[in-house]
Amino acid sequence: MCGIVGIVGKSNVNQALYDSLTVLQHRGQDAAGIVTSDNGKLYLRKDNGLVRDVFHTRHMRQLTGNMGIAHVRYPTAGSSGAAQAQPLYVNSPYGISLAHNGNLTNSEELSADIFRDDLRHLNTDSDSEVLLNVFAHELQMLNKMRPSAEDVFQAVRAVHRRCRGAYAAIAMLVGYGIVGFRDKYGIRPLVYGKKRTRKGYEYMLASESVALDSQGFTLVRDVAPGEAVYIDQEGNLQTMQCAEDNKLTPCIFEHVYFARPDSIIDGVSVYKSRLRMGERLAQKILRIRPNHDIDVVIPIPDTSRTAAVELANALGVKFREGFVKNRYIGRTFIMPGQSQRKKSVKQKLNAIALEFQDKNVLLVDDSIVRGTTCKQIIEMAREAGARKVYFCSASPPVKHPNVYGIDMPAVSELIAHGKTVAEIQSLIGADWLVFQDLEDLIASCAEGSILPMDFECSVFDGFYVTGDVSSAYLAKLEARRNDVSKHKKQLEAEVSESGNWDEDEGQLSLHSNS
């Protein structure tokens, strides 16, 4: 899961791209990059690290141009390293850079085709580089000196025919324009908006509407599944449906965890969907335990807070903040190695003892993945003096791996895989455990939308909407995602980068061939 943004403006867009990335930082903390186009030249800066650490004043001054795209990354399947930071670039045709969020499920097959048939070289094992080269090849096959909007749409049609899986992408043709497109299921989010200036309209594409809000753009709508949106360098916008059999099936985990609550995805407020999750979870608790003895509801910061507030209201019990979060610690479920995760939880949260002392506490989290974090949090609650510790999840048990761009652990590391709720309850040490029902989660996320949609819920139900995920594919994914493999890849990345990449080496100035 990553964050992407692209802007076609009437003046330099570097600052707006930077500010947008800071708003989307929650979507990726591994690497960041910005590329701009100015008078037929491309300027690129990317590196590992947070946005604030990758870009300094000297870098921003060089990122000139009224058109650009940007990316924040977190790696999937353990792959990392500065070489895989985005946007990625190929010089033919025209000079194309691309930022991608998602995961191709047929990237190995495509990699072979790109080398054998397209006669193109891939420099990394990134499926984003595969997507870029497929798009570039299809555009080159049209053999046009200057690409039109229809040429771009035709290349996107070919991408949809060849690529499977999840992809929301923004590509920039140096000196010509920017195109954003979404896979035919709309698994990963992509929106676009506009802003009126004295010189005319500016346009922006982004993973979440909150990025548009931050820069004063008005949300127009979501990019539809299979649709492409092309904005040329002069600011003319055209759209085209480029895929057959398209169906809106967005990833439901965006509403559960990844998206910011102030975003709107496919016409649905993330904030309101989380309120409804809390309300429906409270209804389930009241059905199961109408005479519950819960004294206080406490969220595990931050994404569960919205659901916890509404849950407490519906139950008629107090809502309290019982944990203080250290905001300088990254997400623990994507860290390699159980020992590192265990250490991080203690660094990340601290209990306020007076909110726990002699109380029956209901802790609320958005989901339970490995179970390592919630087990330690339950222990912290007991150490703080809680009489009983109940635990509830605003989503169902996570039982299956994600193949569409979320770096879920290997299936063998998912605490709920092959286990009953009672067994999970015992493993995490709770006095009582309750999960949201899948039908209630879906209803919470669908309410208010005027668009017909299903949801991609594979982490909960094991159904993969693209229809191409075999047991062999999942076995390969298992091998790549286990902790041993992640730790090995991390060491390899550190060794390969030592002495070979400094803060200025990520700054490039490239001439396009347009």
Residues carrying an active site annotation: 2
The rounded distance, in Å, linking the Cα atoms of 237 and 65 is 18
Read off the tokens for 289: 């335990």
Read off the tokens for 459: 């982490």
How is the chain split among helix, strand and coil, in percent rounded to 5? 35, 25, 40
**Residue of 59, 3, 68, 57 lying closest to 31 (CA atoms):** 3
Q: Is the dihedral of CA 102, 105, 111, 113 positive or negative?
A: negative
The one-character DSSP state at 353 is G
The rounded distance, in Å, linking the Cα atoms of 229 and 147 is 15
> Residues 149, 232: contact at Cβ < 8 Å?
yes
The rounded radius of gyration (Å) of the Cα atoms in the chain is 23
The rounded distance, in Å, linking the Cα atoms of 242 and 320 is 49
The rounded distance, in Å, linking the Cα atoms of 35 and 175 is 13
Residue 479 in 3-state DSSP? helix
**Ramachandran assignment for 400, one of left (phi > 0), alpha (psi -120 to 50 degrees), beta (any other):** beta
Q: For residue 332, what are the contacts with CB-CB under 8 A and spacing of at least 6?
A: 341, 344, 345, 348, 372, 373
Read off the tokens for 355: 């909110």
Q: Say which amino acid occupies 103.
A: N
CB atoms under 10 Å from CB of 295, counted, come to 18
Pairing of strands 41-48, 31-38: antiparallel
**Residue of 245, 175, 152 lying closest to 35 (CA atoms):** 175
Return the bridge partners of 222, or none: 191
CB-hemisphere CA count at 13 Å for 514?
Answer: 20
Q: Say which amino acid occupies 392.
A: C
The rounded distance, in Å, linking the Cα atoms of 18 and 3 is 12
Q: Say which amino acid occupies 215.
A: Q
Burial of 282 (0-12, 13-18, 19+ CB in 10 A): buried
> Residues 111, 129: contact at Cβ < 8 Å?
no
What's the Cα-to-Cα distance from 218 to each of 86, 103, 202, 215, 416, rounded to whole Å? 26, 29, 10, 9, 41
The rounded distance, in Å, linking the Cα atoms of 342 and 296 is 26
State in Å, rounded, how far the first CA of the chain is from the last one: 32
